[in-house]
Amino acid sequence: MSALPAELQSLVAKGRAKYGQSGSRVKPKDGRNRYRLLLNPTKPWVDLGVHWIKPEKDAKPIAVVGCESVVHDKPCPICTAVDRAIGAAIDDESKKFYEEWKVKKSVIINALVRTKGEESDDPQILELTPTTFDQVLAIVQSHAEEGINLFDPNEGIDIVIEKSGRAMNTKYLVQPGAGTSKPVPTEAMKKLHDLEAHIEKEFFRGDETKALNAIAATAGVSVAGLLASSPKPKAIAAPSATNAAGSSVAEDDETETTAPATPSALTGATRTKPKPAPEPEPEVVEEEDETVEAEPEAPVKPAAAKPAVAPAEDDGMADILSQLDDL
């Protein structure tokens, strides 16, 4: 028996992230949850930001779209559109509703679930609110000061996250795991998820237009020009392939909204009115935890996407043929 070469291993891991069931993220449940955090050396943890665009309060989102600003550090057309909607809101009620469209932030990281009765050696993607993750990092730091690397597969230790309360009152308490922390099996370290690939697959499926149109229709604001500045939907991320995989995303009940005070990075150019003083944002915004099935997309392929590829191939083929002729 020979071992899989290292390059192939990472290729396989990437393939699994792309084709496999990387669609599910786990979140702490009520009560005590024990995890062992695992670091993917290339990207130990990743910020996730998602816009859940609902047509009305308590409705199912009609578009679930990753935030370019949070995820890719680029201007986000949805953030801009949401700001426009909030700015144009005719009353407090609609303003409050539009604010639910703002990005919800979380942090994702690889982890083994070690809660009693749920132990598994298959790494999961653990999703935590930013403030919970900050508690995690504080524990990492205090252990580092004692010379302990909490993330070390052998010498590291588990953490326990205790979730209590509901909705707006949900609380997370993070503590180092008591007792012995079992080492991480070598196999598990080979199965780490590619966190960035996961985000691309789940949240950048080409639904930006849908989200913008929904915002325009609901809030009566113009979203003209916003799509042009957004990155082109990737050909591979296009319609059916990803949706057919049955990937689904569950709306978060505890992810955090951004502080609304950072318009500059997002929409410096378009914002002219002074922003009203932001109200304190609750850490917990959503009560429900519904699952959005990947709906079969109306097959509105961007017409431009296809022809761009074909001629190039034809040229290549022509070249080859002419080379053959030369022989």
Kindly tell me which of 33 and 69 has the beta carbon lying closer to Zn ion: 69
CB of 131 to Zn ion, least distance (A): 20
What residues line the site for Zn ion (CB under 5 A)? Answer: 67, 69, 76, 78-79, 103
Interatomic CA distance for residues 327 and 319, integer angstroms: 13
Kindly tell me which of 78 and 159 has the beta carbon lying closer to Zn ion: 78
Interatomic CA distance for residues 97 and 106, integer angstroms: 21
Q: Is 168 left (phi over 0), alpha (psi -120 to 50) or beta?
A: alpha
Kindly tell me which of 47 and 121 has the beta carbon lying closer to Zn ion: 47
Interatomic CA distance for residues 129 and 47, integer angstroms: 10
Location of structure tokens 């700015």 = 87
Alpha carbon 178 to its chain centroid, in Å, reads: 31
Kindly tell me which of 79 and 112 has the beta carbon lying closer to Zn ion: 79
CB of 78 to Zn ion, least distance (A): 5
- Contact between residue 233 and residue 207 where contact means Cβ atoms under 8 Å apart: no
CB of 69 to Zn ion, least distance (A): 5
CB of 68 to Zn ion, least distance (A): 6
CB of 76 to Zn ion, least distance (A): 3
Number of residues assigned to the chain: 327
Interatomic CA distance for residues 40 and 197, integer angstroms: 13
Which residue from 61, 75, 105 is spatially nearest to 227, judged by alpha carbons? 75
Alpha helices in 88-231 (DSSP H): 92-99, 130-145, 186-189, 195-203, 208-219
Specify the amino acid at residue 34: R
CB of 61 to Zn ion, least distance (A): 14
Location of structure tokens 């003083």 = 277
Pair type for strands 159-164 and 31-38: antiparallel
Kindly tell me which of 124 and 255 has the beta carbon lying closer to Zn ion: 255
Kindly tell me which of 124 and 129 has the beta carbon lying closer to Zn ion: 129
CB of 102 to Zn ion, least distance (A): 8
